[in-house]
Copies of this chain bind each other. A is one copy, B any other.
Amino acid sequence: MAKLQEATPIVRRPLHEEATDRLRDLIVQGRLAPGERLNERLLSVQLGLSRTPLREAIKVLATEGLVELLPNRGAIVSHMDAVRLSESLVVMGALEALAGELACINATDAQVNEIRALHYEMLAYHARGDLAGYFKFNQAIHLKIVKYSGNTMLFNAYRQLNANVRRARYMANLSRERWDAAVREHDEILAALGARDVKRIKALLSDHLAHKLASVLAALPSRQAA
């Protein structure tokens, strides 16, 4: 007898995992603002579960750095100051450079083409001047490069830092010049990946992240003043 339903392991997703993902999204999307208190009772009602799995989710987000625990006073959405942001970008730069190297070596041609497709979609949004759409595919490309490095631990470390940085992407508020430059850099990155040029992609990604950091830092002070 053939195994029917092979691909459908019908196991209900634990509520605490669901809560973790939903809360993470709320924070990353900025719907829960930095510094905002996480009222357990309120959130548990809003998410439709009890406080127990919610508290487990909060603890997880705290280890991810998205939330800060104040003993006996609950949790707040952690602040994303300039220091943390630039620190994260520096680390991500090193991780992406490594990921680029590994991806050059390990990614299949199909995976490279998958990234290429995302690249062209991103170009389309850039051409239209659609920043939100651009960001979405930009994110996807960087994540795919790290993913196709084939190093799971690298991917996890990167993912965690990235969640923290994504919250602040609106702070970047990048100029048209920087935007255009970033797109050109992406062109080169893709070319290096296609050519399997390990040294080149490492340098390109390193520079790309350094530029991103500079652009964010340049945009920050004005924001801090506000």
Interface segment out of the listed A85-93, A109-117, A137-145, A215-223: A85-93
Q: Is A178 an interface residue (CB 8 A)?
A: no
- Which residue of B is nearest A97, CB measured? B94
- Which residues in B have their C-beta under 8 angstroms from that of A104? none
Q: Is A29 an interface residue (CB 8 A)?
A: no
Q: Interface range on chain A: under 10, 10 to 19, 20 to 34, or 35 or more?
A: 35 or more
User: Quick check: A153 and B94 within 8 Å, CB to CB?
Assistant: no
Number of copies: 2
Q: Is A210 an interface residue (CB 8 A)?
A: no
- Which residue of B is nearest A16, CB measured? B59
Given contacts A14-B71, A16-B59, A63-B63, contact A87 B161 (CB under 8 A): no
Binding site for B on A (CB under 8 A): 11-14, 16, 52, 55-56, 59-60, 62-65, 69, 71-72, 84, 87-88, 90-91, 94-95, 97-98, 102, 151-154, 156-157, 160-161, 164
A-B contact pairs, 15 of them (CB 8 A): A11-B71, A52-B52, A56-B56, A56-B59, A60-B60, A60-B63, A65-B153, A84-B152, A88-B153, A90-B98, A90-B154, A91-B95, A91-B154, A91-B157, A157-B160
